Structure 1
Amino acid sequence: MRAPLNSASRPVSNERLGVILRILSTLAFALMGVCIKALGDSVPLGQVVFFRSAVALLPLVAYLYWRGDWPGGLRTSRPLGHIGRCLMGAAAMFTSFATIRLLPLAEATMLSYLAPVVLALLAWALLGEQLTARRIAGVALGLAGAAAFCLPAFAGVLPDAGGLGVVLGLVTAVLTAGALLQVRRLTMLGEGAGAIAFWFAVVSALGGLATLPWGWSWPGPSGLALLIATGLAGGLAHILMTLSFAHADASALAPFEYLSVLWAVILGFAFFAEVPGLAFVVAGPLVLIGAFIARPGRAR
């Protein structure tokens, strides 16, 4: 990944392009969620993870080749660091996809934004990063939002599936934060973004493939199309996100990251007739504001 440019050296037109690319990446991530939810229980979870990761390798390899990072950019001197990042990230993919199946799309997306809140705490505890007043406020808001959203589930107000979905959403946030923490360690040690993304996709695909003995289904044409679309949307989303940071500073792009929740609300209603409940309305703003405040200053 190219070194970020200083904001003063970026023309306004480039920054505008960066914003457009970031918005498109959030839409691609939301469309990936739609494909996963549309598949429902017709395809085993491990099979979905495999297609999401294996198909995503196609646009990723094309992008790395275009950047001149194929195959030289895949070399690494820290394989154990990559293994730790990949295992946590792959586990997060499993729990995230399960959360999408169990909860409305908007609620599953909102829970994923607890990851920056957890990351701020982990970075303070494990990397010695300063926990400023701003980040403390962000963590407090995020945790308050999580409590407001989770209490109905733990009080038995939600169906059993909803309660399990909330738990898996919280587990996803913790696993994602751990994976992001490891990404930060790897980048600080000089590992390239291309290598990190490629090996994560490979390990996740292998993790999904490992579930084959527990039974995969042979999807029909529509199911196969959704599986392929899941991988293409996920791979494209990562590429668009990476490109956006090449054209604009993280601070300029940060507000647009949270459009994922808006897309999830719109697409959830359009495709699945999902209407966010009161818990989402109360907790959503707290979690999103907390994530915005607690997030690292640099792009992930």
Structure 2
Amino acid sequence: MLPDNWCVMTNDQIGISMRIGATVFFTLMVLCVKLTSGTIPLGQVVFFRSVIALIPLVLFLRLTDDFPGGLSTKRPFGHVTRCLFGAAAMFASFATIRYLPIAEATIIGYVTPIFTMILARIVLAEQVTATRWIGVALGFSGILTLVLPDLTGTKANEEYLIGVSLGFITAMLTSVAMIQVRSLTKTENAGAIAFYFAFTCAVLGAATFPLGWSAPSMEEYALLVGAGFAGGIAHILMTLGYKYSEASKLAPFEYLSLVFAVLADLMIFDIVPASNFYVAAAFIFTSVSFVALKDRRKPKPAQT
């Protein structure tokens, strides 16, 4: 007979499970967006992804008693800044995966913590160790390893150059948004930050309607709705993950996003990464590890 506590999980195990689940749903979201590329306008994709994501998000906030009371804010202009940069990052991100395989767009996204670290030093005056600067150097070395072989100046690589440029723009915009989030979390409810971001993206996406939206097929509607639900669920799971476990313990599981991205490219689009991709991945994994190292080193309590 099994003991009564055979299925009990520790907080860390719950947190890790939630983080892995979030990674799976983020990959599904990106895959849905990728499959609409070339047929659905970018603003229309952003609208559906954001407005549909509000459904699971609001349900989650209701279950946690954070809706509507948790939406009150003391810093409305802070939310505006965060939302505008975050929305710009979403537009740039969805544009990136129209030009690049999912795996390559994902790996370029790994430089976001590096840009965030640099901005944290400039904007928030956070201390940056020599180890983290080494991480910066390794990260950029990885990106150069990834993109230089494909940027030979031939016309066949123009779209790749656009995709890489958009990837860097996405990483920079995301890093600015993350700095704003760090600042907002000191006084604001996490649910409010997520809600206002999704709402703003939905409004900005809707604003592109006069530019011309397409009439999606049933399959395309399913992909748009799927992107919204997957994005909303991923955000909830990620939030729960950080509730149950420390960020430093969850950081290594972010690497799974690259594994899932490679599998999606291989299984859906029959894309096999070139050898330089794996070398770049090794550089960037090392750089992210350096950036996360400080978070893992916690000061010991003073002896009394």
The two structures share one fold, judged by TM-score above 0.5 = yes
- 8 Å Cα contact 2:45/2:205 also seen in 1: yes
Deviation at 1:153, TM superposition (A): 4.3
The yes-or-no answer on 1:131 pairing with 2:128 is: yes
- 8 Å Cα contact 1:110/1:288 also seen in 2: no
Structure 2 counterpart of 1:116, one-letter code:
P
**What are structure 1's unaligned runs of at least 5 residues?**
1-10
Structure 1 stretches of 4+ moved >4 Å: none
- 8 Å Cα contact 1:46/1:212 also seen in 2: yes
The yes-or-no answer on 1:236 pairing with 2:236 is: no
**What are structure 2's unaligned runs of at least 5 residues?**
1-7, 297-304
In 2: Cα distance, 1:83 partner to 1:211 partner = 19
Larger Rg: 2
What fraction of aligned residue pairs are identical, expressed as a percent?
49
The within-5 A match list for 1:60-75 is 60-75=57-72
Aligned to 1:179: 177
- 8 Å Cα contact 1:53/1:202 also seen in 2: yes
Aligned to 1:3: none
How many matched pairs?
A: 287
The yes-or-no answer on 1:161 pairing with 2:159 is: yes
Out of 177-186 and 156-165, give the one that drifted further. Answer: 156-165
In 2: Cα distance, 1:285 partner to 1:34 partner = 24
- 8 Å Cα contact 1:23/1:259 also seen in 2: yes
In 1: Cα distance, 2:139 partner to 2:255 partner = 14
Deviation digits for residues 207-265 of structure 1 (CA, Å, limit 9, x no counterpart): 11111011001101100000000000000000001111121111221111111010000
The yes-or-no answer on 1:101 pairing with 2:133 is: no
- SS of 2:10's partner is helix
Deviation at 1:12, TM superposition (A): 6.1
The within-5 A match list for 1:1-300 is 13-156=10-153, 159-188=157-186, 190-295=187-292, 297=295
In 1: Cα distance, 2:79 partner to 2:276 partner = 37
Normalised by the length of structure 1, the TM-score is 0.92
Aligned to 2:299: none
- SS of 2:73's partner is coil
- 8 Å Cα contact 1:19/1:248 also seen in 2: yes
Structure 2 counterpart of 1:164, one-letter code:
I
Out of 47-56 and 275-284, give the one that drifted further. Answer: 275-284
Normalised by the length of structure 2, the TM-score is 0.91
